[in-house]
Amino acid sequence: MRRARIAIASRVLETAGASLVFGGGDVDPTGFVFRIPRRFDAPPDHFSLKCPPEDFRENSPDGVRRKEYNPAFPEVAVKRWIVLLTILCSSVCGWTQVIDRSVPGTLQVATFIRAGVLIDGVSNSPRRNQVITIRAGRISDVSDAGNARIPAGVAVIDLSEATVLPGLIDAHTHIFLQGEDPAEGGYDVQLLKYPLAFRAARATVSVRRALEQGFTTLRDMETEGAGYGDVGIKQAIEGGYIPGPRLFVSTRAISTTGGYPLEGYAPEIEVPKGVQIIDGPVEARKAAREQLDHGADWIKVYMTHRSWVRNNGVGKNAELVSQPTLTVEELRAIVNETHGWGKKVACHAYSGEGLQRGLDGGCDSIEHGLVLTDAQIAQMIRQGTWLCPTLSVYYIDWAPADTPDGQRDRKRASEHEVSFRKALKAGVKIAFGTDIGGIPWSQPIAQEFPRMVEFGMTPMQAIQSATSRAAELLEMKGQLGVIAPGAYADVVAVSGDPLADVKLLENVGFVMKNGQVFKNEIGSNR
């Protein structure tokens, strides 16, 4: 019935000199744009009947020049009224299902995606030959191709030769870091010499890189001295000014005196810090309040800082040691304040006392978790604490093996593997995270998948850690990280079978965010 109504309404509109618009901003014969991304990938509430601003007219992301409504041209204006009257008539006549009313002021019908193989982010087995229906930036239906009736003449994105997945989620990124290449001045130069605008410009490139690789959501784990720059980048993405994933930001992060770079300068010189420094529960709570007030979605806390191998790596006691930072009381003040705002606390913690304080103080997620004891794993399961392991970043830039730093680098990686395997076996909740930014943004984010599989996850578990599990961490279960009715239409696709070779996820060929196609190198349109 619904299909028939769509067909009828389609014909009525065509009679009126218009055409329905499917997908991301096509143009009808009158020059009237029904639905157009305001700039690059504006969210659904930015779709409107207004013309986009001048700067976008000849620079659309898909290279398609769009005609726009010109109010000074009477013929077009008349046709506009015909179309609007038709819409009004269709609703009176009961064709309400044709037009999506969830977005005020828009006329929108469905986009259809044919998926050869669908990994939906939740189910443990893929499904073949599915059709995904998208309306107003959300998935409205997923069904077997045999049962799905796609109206004749509508645009369909054909990914029947590809594997379709939910948009990927990286739950630990640093859009304001650029790999800290020592040859380019390392970490310190970014805080000492680069204007914030320069860093923001590079962050703009970082978020675009993430989206190009199919990561439609990031939890960004602090700006490393760039203040509230992440809030600004998020605003620019949401406003449609720049392309990028949806961001969950943590702003400045919190540590204690002696607990974060810049360091190693003469004590007489005051240098900037990569985080907000607090000492005592009062300052801790105040810092959390400030950051939440200025737009933090998460609060990031460093529970450990320096790490080294005891006894120069010799003998039984040669374990990895981490310097603890906040006390349990300081952390509790932050957690209490943040939970009061309905937000959550992510804790960078490597091992030992600092990691234990993180668990005792009520952290919602342990970042890295290089050394997890059996008791700590049991406590994480009891408390529902997430682990965001970020494995890959501990395999780059190792110092020479015969140096203390080299021993530390190798110890971190070897301990991490043991902890990851134990946590996985015990059933700790694990979310995909990379620490990219610590890794240069020129490298593939998806390099974390094969590492997770190497250390015991099935490819499906690794994919779910970057889809439905990460969405759960973000309290977006059912809305992100899943291809199912009601979820945001964040959809990606790869050629081949990532369950057979998880490395294929490094080559995402199709990216849709909020129902808007950002990249399509593998799917044909008809």
Q: Mention every residue, 6+ apart, whose C-beta is less than 8 A from residue 133.
A: 110, 111, 112, 139, 140, 141, 142, 143, 148
Q: How far is the CB of 173 from Zn ion (least distance, A)?
A: 8
Tell me whether residue 87 or residue 233 sits nearer to Zn ion (CB atom): 233
Q: How far is the CB of 8 from Zn ion (least distance, A)?
A: 55
* Residues numbered 178-237 forming contacts with Zn ion, rule: CB under 5 A: 221
Q: What distance in Å separates the CA atoms of residue 377 and residue 21, rounded to the nearest whole number? A: 52
Q: How far is the CB of 437 from Zn ion (least distance, A)?
A: 7
Q: How far is the CB of 154 from Zn ion (least distance, A)?
A: 44
Site mask for Zn ion (CB under 5 A), range 250-289, x = bound? ----------------------------------------
Q: What distance in Å separates the CA atoms of residue 366 and residue 386, rounded to the nearest whole number? A: 6
What amino acid is encoded at 340 in this protein? G
Task: Map residue 524 onto helix, strand or coil.
Answer: strand
Tell me whether residue 100 or residue 435 sits nearer to Zn ion (CB atom): 435
Nearest to 468 by CA among 432, 493, 439, 444: 432
Contact 232, 200 (CB under 8 A): yes
Tell me whether residue 51 or residue 277 sits nearer to Zn ion (CB atom): 277
Q: How far is the CB of 266 from Zn ion (least distance, A)?
A: 28
Rg of the chain on CA atoms, in Å: 25
Q: What distance in Å separates the CA atoms of residue 451 and residue 429, rounded to the nearest whole number? A: 17
Stretch of 18-26, 60-68, 148-156, 433-441 lying at the interface with Zn ion (CB under 5 A): 433-441
Q: How far is the CB of 219 from Zn ion (least distance, A)?
A: 10
Tell me whether residue 68 or residue 397 sits nearer to Zn ion (CB atom): 397
Q: How far is the CB of 346 from Zn ion (least distance, A)?
A: 9
Tell me whether residue 120 or residue 435 sits nearer to Zn ion (CB atom): 435
Contact 431, 389 (CB under 8 A): no
Strands 491-495, 156-166: pairing kind: antiparallel
337 binds Zn ion (CB under 5 A): no
Q: What distance in Å separates the CA atoms of residue 513 and residue 217, rounded to the nearest whole number? A: 9
Nearest to 65 by CA among 30, 25, 34: 25
Tell me whether residue 30 or residue 322 sits nearer to Zn ion (CB atom): 322
Tell me whether residue 438 or residue 459 sits nearer to Zn ion (CB atom): 438
Q: How far is the CB of 17 from Zn ion (least distance, A)?
A: 55
Nearest to 9 by CA among 81, 79, 97, 112: 97
Tell me whether residue 237 or residue 347 sits nearer to Zn ion (CB atom): 347
Q: What distance in Å separates the CA atoms of residue 477 and residue 486, rounded to the nearest whole number? A: 11
Q: Going along 369-425, which residue ranges are E strands?
A: 386-388
* Residues numbered 127-186 forming contacts with Zn ion, rule: CB under 5 A: none
Count of residues interacting with Zn ion (CB under 5 A): 2
435 binds Zn ion (CB under 5 A): yes
Query: Does the bond joining 262 to the residue before it have cis omega, within 30 degrees of 0?
Result: yes
Contact residues: Zn ion, CB under 5 A: 221, 435
